[in-house]
Amino acid sequence: MSSSPPPSRRPLLGETPDSLAEAAIAAGHPRRLGGQVLRWVWGRGVLDPAAMTDLSIAQRAWLAEHHVGLEATEVARQVASDGTTKLLLEFPDSSDGAAVARRCESVMIPADGRRTACISSQFGCPVGCRFCASGTGFEGQLVAGRIVEQVHRLARLDGIDRISHVVFMGMGEPLANLAEVTAAIRILNAPWGAGISARRITVSTVGVPAAIRRFARFELPVNLALSLHAPNDELRRRIIPWAEFARIEEILDACREWFEKSGREITLEYLLLGGFNDRPEHARELALLASSLRSNVNLIRWNEVKGMPFDRPSTPAVREFQQILRDRGVNAHIRASRGRDIAAACGQLRHEKSSPVNLSVHGSTAG
């Protein structure tokens, strides 16, 4: 049974032509090797150096020694009645000196000709929202190559031609891993990479003003979604621990700066918790907030998570909430819950059997 790859083996899916060329030059190989390798990776879907036949034997040996293709083991796959597919992936991690594996979940959502990859940016989540399964533990960051690997795997599910949209709405707070998330987005967007339009990539955040301002300087025109979930600070602090660090108005100020620099309006994500934040007065408060900046509102019914003290709101209550917003000029939509029957919907993702796993028992990589 194989052991985890040494830390020096970098994920091929996290490389750019320049980064790979620089590594090649440092090892005494020609600069053009970077482009050659990535044409195999992205043009032909080949991640095994031994199959890259236009590389010399020495180049293939160097590439295999210092890089790894697919790192994760697919631990479980579930398909929902609506066609949504969820993968539980296990990545080896020996960076802390222990041969352990960490897990995350990724989801492919098919709808109206779209194939959306909902991917994770962290192992677990540090925010700890009271309504979310992902916040029950945080184990570490996903590097860019491992973020991209999730999209790569979802794109190769049975019957899937390619991924058309990517949403960073899986496990984790993307702006708490900003450098790796933006590196992954560049690879997903690049014509030499996955070639996914930046306008079809959405990053969701719980709202960290300083990080939103830094992200506003990002050069690609991606979409930003704010997980608001309450129309006032008092209510928000009861369900989102990080709300203690920033008031709603501070977060919205950062979102206004985002719009000024990017020209892209904000999506306000609002999770409706039955009897908690779904009353008519809450809708009226939310309408005032939404009208204070260029935004649209996505209303999301809470998806059941065992052991959490919330209720899923009724359809009439959700429609009344939406109508109050629309009557006040707010562009509000009710987002369908996809994959509920396999716990793949919003707020249901968790790193199942999440304690670190000894690789000597469970094996290691697939690449």
69: closest CA among 166, 158, 145? 145
Q: Which residues, other chains included, contact 118 with Cβ-Cβ below 8 Å and sequence gap of 6+?
A: 106, 107, 108, 109, 167, 169, 170
Tokens representing residue 336 in the block:
């369908």
Q: Which residues, other chains included, contact 327 with Cβ-Cβ below 8 Å and sequence gap of 6+?
A: none
Alpha helix positions (H), the chain: 17-26, 33-38, 57-66, 144-155, 178-189, 209-215, 233-239, 248-262, 280-290, 315-327, 359-362
Catalytic: 304?
no
Catalytic: 346?
yes
Taking the C-alpha atoms of residue 249 and residue 118, their distance in angstroms, rounded to an integer, is 28
Taking the C-alpha atoms of residue 157 and residue 164, their distance in angstroms, rounded to an integer, is 14
Residue in 15, 71, 90, 105 annotated catalytic? 105
Q: Contact at 8 Å (CB) between 114 and 163?
A: no
230: closest CA among 251, 259, 199, 201? 251
**Which amino acid is it at 258?**
W
Angstrom distances, CA of residue 189 to CA of 17, 46, 161: 14, 19, 17
- Residues with catalytic roles: 105, 346
